[in-house]
Amino acid sequence: MEILYSRIEGEGKPLLVLHGYLGMSDNWKTLSGRYADAGFQVHTLDLRNHGRSFHSDDFSHELMMQDVLQYCKYHNLEKISIIGHSMGGKLAMFLAVNYPNLIDKLVVADISVREYSPHHQDILNALNSVDFSIHTDRKQVEEVIAQYVDDFGTRQFLMKNVYRITPEKLGFRMNLKSLTENYDKMGIEIPKNSRYEQPVLFLRGENSNYIRERDEQDILNIFPKAEIETVSNAGHWLHAENPTEFFDFSIKYLKS
């Protein structure tokens, strides 16, 4: 039985943080400390095939859901709050509609209930173009990624996955092969007949199109007590682009 890697800090009610596709717990270092200071025991997870967690050929929301349940059982966590971003937000929604008694509070960051068609192709092409037998320093790796990914912030986010396997050899922390092969499973919708009757906070980035106006009714059909707030001056990585506003919205809800 393999248990997900996590960073645990603080004392109090358990709060799980679930990162997005190709992300990891390290992306949340600054904010997780703030939630810990606010009175939560914060569990920032690396989901399967990401960060320091185990690698598997199999990858789906169903499997990730079982991983989180196993994690909660292992750590004796009963009523948990969750903050989930993007893929992690979709996973958090699946947990809420399937295991509502597990959830205390739910914050979904910049993802809706609908199906998303594959749209990370450039990023996957960039990562799969890196050959660590020739690209032996970080600068070379970033140059390869830059041929496919214009945005500096996105490149920095991807470069967090690069680490030294040995003093001579770099590698990716994530299981790129499995993430590439199973990519089409990531965008699935929350089934339309699902319901979760407790309050939920949805946070969207002002400059992001992941939660559009026409998504709002679909969200309310499944999460009738949802509130949708907009984090200003932020795109899809809203927790990194405007951490102060993200924290203020989320902590007010988590403490309510």
Higher pLDDT, 185 or 111: 111
Q: Is the pLDDT of residue 1 over 90?
A: no
- The pLDDT score that the predictor gives to residue 135 is 94
Are 82 and 236 in contact, with CB atoms under 8 Å apart?
A: no
Among this protein's residues, is 43 annotated catalytic? no
Write phi, then psi, for 12 (nearest 5 degrees). Answer: 130, -155
Residue 110's CB is within 10 A of a number of other CB atoms, namely 25
Considering the candidates 32, 53, 86, 208, report the single residue annotated as catalytic.
86
DSSP 188: P
pTM (whole model) above 0.75: yes
Among this protein's residues, is 75 annotated catalytic? no
d(CA 190, CA 95): 10
Using alpha carbons, list the distances in angstroms from residue 163 to 25, 66, 137, 229.
15, 28, 10, 36
Considering the candidates 25, 236, 239, 250, report the single residue annotated as catalytic.
236
* Confidence at 234, pLDDT banded by 50, 70, 90: very high
Chain-centre distance for alpha carbon 23: 6
SS3 letters for 17-86? EECCCCCCHHHHHHHHHHHHHCCEEEEEECCCCCCCCCCCCCCCHHHHHHHHHHHHHHCCCCCEEEEEEC
Give the chain's domains with CATH numbers: 6-116+186-254 (3.40.50.1820), 121-180 (no CATH)
- The pLDDT score that the predictor gives to residue 21 is 95
Secondary structure class of 152 (helix, strand, coil): helix
d(CA 67, CA 77): 13
- The pLDDT score that the predictor gives to residue 118 is 83
Using alpha carbons, list the distances in angstroms from residue 160 to 8, 21, 25, 80, 147.
20, 13, 11, 28, 18
Mean pLDDT in residue range 216-237 = 97
For the chain, what is the mean pLDDT? Answer: 96
pLDDT in tens, 98-147: 999 999 999 999 999 999 988 889 999 999 999 999 999 999 999 999 99
* Confidence at 43, pLDDT banded by 50, 70, 90: very high
d(CA 192, CA 54): 32
